Amino acid sequence: MLEFLIRIRATHEWPGVCRDRMAVVLTPDGWDCVVTAGWGDHRVRCDETEVAFSGEPVGWQLSFEGPMTQETAERFVASVAYQVEQEVGEPVEWIQIAW
């Protein structure tokens, strides 16, 4: 399972997103994804892959369940990271934590 963190660049902390804004901020623009039910604070389905978002003290943890290439997953995370950065008004970074 691919897993990533999106975190504040300077402090390595969780970039908080209001619950009522999660669907807008954590669902990447331009991707054919829909919000779906399941574990996590937010979850989307993109084709055959589900991505669960969990707000942790160290950042937003993204867990990919299902088929998605490494390159596609990285583009997905970069897109969400950009939206999070725009929402919180602070530079963020993303790192891969599991392959």
Q: What is the pLDDT of residues 49-79, one digit of tens each?
A: 999 999 999 999 999 999 999 999 999 999 9
Computed over every residue of the chain, the mean pLDDT equals 96
Q: Is 96 exposed, middle or buried (0-12, 13-18, 19+ CB in 10 A)?
A: middle
Mean pLDDT calculated for residue range 21-37: 96
Q: Is the pTM of this model over 0.85?
A: yes
Question: Could you give the 3-state DSSP secondary structure of residue 85?
Answer: helix
Residues 95, 12: contact at Cβ < 8 Å?
Answer: no
